[in-house]
Amino acid sequence: MSDVPTTRGLYGQRPSKSADAARRREFEETFAMSPMERVLLALELGEFSRVLEAPARSRLAGRGEKG
């Protein structure tokens, strides 16, 4: 058996140990949340993504393209 993980990161590289540790912590924190906390986090992330997309939409609208 090989010591190379079966899952690969972006472009096929092996994920770093620090990235694995951060991902594991994030899963543990999410798992520890109540269902209501998870819903609120999802709503917050959705709002954040809309804020990030807004400038791109306004640039596209200025050029007459649909966004």
Neighbours of 14 (CB within 10 A): 13
- DSSP at 5: -
| Domain spans, the chain | 10-62
HSE on the CB side for 7, CA within 13 Å? Answer: 4
pLDDT score at 64: 58
> Which pLDDT tens digit goes with each residue over 11-40?
667 778 888 889 899 999 999 999 999 999
CA 19 – CA 2 distance, rounded (Å): 21
Please, how many CA atoms are within 13 Å of residue 21, restricted to the half-sphere of its CB? 3
> Running DSSP on this structure, what letter comes out for residue 14?
P
What are the tens digits of pLDDT across the range 37-53? 999 999 998 888 888 88
